[in-house]
Amino acid sequence: MHISYKPLWHTLVERNMRKEDLRLAAGLTTNMIANMGKGKNISMETLVRICEALNCGILDVIELEQDEMDTKATE
């Protein structure tokens, strides 16, 4: 399994925000935003800052997705 930031990107669209708006609101670096865009893990502290900046829950930011190999193994 891996973390997906799809809920975050949907939340930003719903709020008419850009990644740059999020970066400034949550005090993130451009590297943090880039890492999320690549699907890399970020710290829990960063996730909390995002949730606080957007006034939302963690499920509005991340979700767990199964890897393709995990899916094939269960078939």
Query: For the domain bounded by 2-74, which CATH number is listed?
Result: 1.10.260.40
**Is 0.95 topped by the overall pTM?**
no
Query: Looking at the predicted structure, is the pLDDT value of residue 72 above 90?
Result: no
Query: Looking at the predicted structure, is the pLDDT value of residue 68 above 90?
Result: no
Cα 31 from Cα 67, distance rounded (Å): 24
Q: For 68, list phi and psi in degrees, rounded to 5.
A: -60, -40
Condensed to tens digits (0 to 9), the pLDDT of residues 3-55 reads 999 999 999 999 999 999 999 999 999 999 999 999 999 999 999 999 999 99
pLDDT (mean) for 59-71: 84
